[in-house]
Every structure is written in C-alpha cells, then in structure tokens.
Amino acid sequence: MDRVALRGLKARGHHGVFPREREEGQTFIVDLVLSLDTRPAAASDDLAKTVHYGVVAEEVVGIVQGEPVDLIETLAERIAQNCLKHDAVREVEVVVHKPDAPITVPFDDVTITITRSRV
C-alpha cells in the first residue's frame, strides 16, 4: 500500500466530558495516513483514481467543528469512518491531538491513535 499523509489539521471543537470544554471549546489537531494503491492514478495522471486530500482535509475539519462528543476516541472513530468512505482508501491511521486537555500537571500533548481498514 502507498500512503498519503496529512499532518497538523487544526480545528476548534467542543469535545470533552467537562462543561468548560463543551462551552469554551479548544483546538484539536489531526494527523492522517491514508493507505491506498496510487498506481492507477499515477499511470493515468487522474485525480479521480486516487484520494482528493483537500476534500478529506475539509471533511475532517468539519467533523472536529461539528457535533460534540465526550471522548477523543469517539472523535477519532468518526474521522476514520469518514476517510474510509472514499473509494480509494483501504486503511487509515488517525491521530487526534488534544494539546489543551484539562490536566493539572505540565504536559505537551494528549493523543489517541487508531487504525481502521475496510473489512
């Protein structure tokens, strides 16, 4: 499988279990690795035979900005399922970063990483 990666997609969302997270929102960062066979697109130089990563990026930002969920695990799953709706994508790795998580000790980042594929 070939891979198309999108790193550092940023959007403001209102996800979390605490009222403050839901009310004020915070920045989430998403990294994606889309696994697919790029040979048909390369041979024909045809965008329709690969994944349009610009469209995927817009969809991911829309999910982050959309309906709030309690857990970043749920957010990552929604993103993964959306990516797999693109015909060319066979597998996706999703990393959701929550750098402003409500933790009382110094930290750099909190992430969840999931991998999903077509069954």
Catalytic residues: 98
Instruction: From 88, 99, 79, 90, select the one nearest 29 (Cα to Cα).
Output: 99
Handedness of CA 85, 88, 90, 92 (dihedral sign): negative
CA distance 1 to 10: 27
In the structure encoding, which two tokens stand for residue 54, read together? 């610009």
In the structure encoding, which two tokens stand for residue 119, read together? 């069954």
